[in-house]
Amino acid sequence: MPDYAIIVAGGKGERMGGSTPKQFLELNGKPVIMHTIEKFRTAFQDIKIILALPENQIDFWEELCSKYGFVNIPHHIVKGGETRFHSVKNALSLVKSAGIVGIHDGVRPLVSTTTITACYQEAAQHGNAIPVVDVVDSLRYVSKQEGTNKAVARSCYKIVQTPQCFRSDLILKAYEQDYDPAFTDDASVVEQLGETIHLVEGNRDNIKITTQEDLILAEHFIKA
């Protein structure tokens, strides 16, 4: 049963304060996204990797692959869409056989192979799985309409990560739906079909790199 990994990389680098998209910034000697792809290949040697990139970044990515000698991990490239939803939808066009499809943020290079394998295994058993971690900070609910705020129980909430994994027939059916701004991740798309989402334990250092501070933290995690 072939398994797939869709790596979504549509960042423009705006919050980084530079012109280089965040997925291409160097982390411990090579671009962030190369670390990400390598994690999936380490977890599953025969996984089919699909990389969704904005069309205007594809040539640059190929230049980086040549520069860093990143030629040993086969992967297919698809053009990204207007939103993350549309990028994933484009990538799903290459899913041609039954299996588990994992969808992962290209700028989460510190996902552990333990998290990856746990998500794929859980999805194989239950149809879907997403990694989550506990909220450790106190939370408050703010009502802008009423101008009020109040404490809420953090035990009722989880922080959602990727990869989010699904049986291929399920995720393909989910992405036949029209785009809705309420779709914040792939699980919310599948949930719209009435599916129950299954949670597995993620790894806390599986951070999403969006700022310079995140990049510094990721460098620290790798060296530690």
Domains (range + CATH), the chain: 4-223 (3.90.550.10)
**What's the CA gap between 79 and 58, in Å, rounded?**
8
Instruction: Determine the Cα–Cα distance for residues 66 and 184; give it in Å rounded to an integer.
Output: 34
Q: Residue 223 above 70 pLDDT? A: yes
How many angstroms separate the CA atoms of 30 and 124, rounded? 33
Q: 16 or 178, which is more confident? A: 178
Q: How far apart are the first and last CA of the chain?
A: 36
Span 194-208, pLDDT tens digits: 999 999 999 999 999
Whole-number Å distance between alpha carbons of 197 and 72: 35
Query: Quick one: pLDDT band at residue 16, thresholds 50, 70, 90?
Result: very low
Residue with tokens 């040539």: 59
Of the pLDDT bands very low, low, confident and very high (cuts 50, 70, 90), residue 193 is very high
> 72 φ, ψ to 5°?
-95, -5
* Chain-centre distance for alpha carbon 86: 14
Of 45, 185, 171, the closest CA to residue 104 belongs to: 185
Residue-level pLDDT at 1: 60
Q: Three-class SS of residue 70?
A: coil
3-state secondary structure of 10: coil
- pLDDT at residue 15 is higher than 50: no
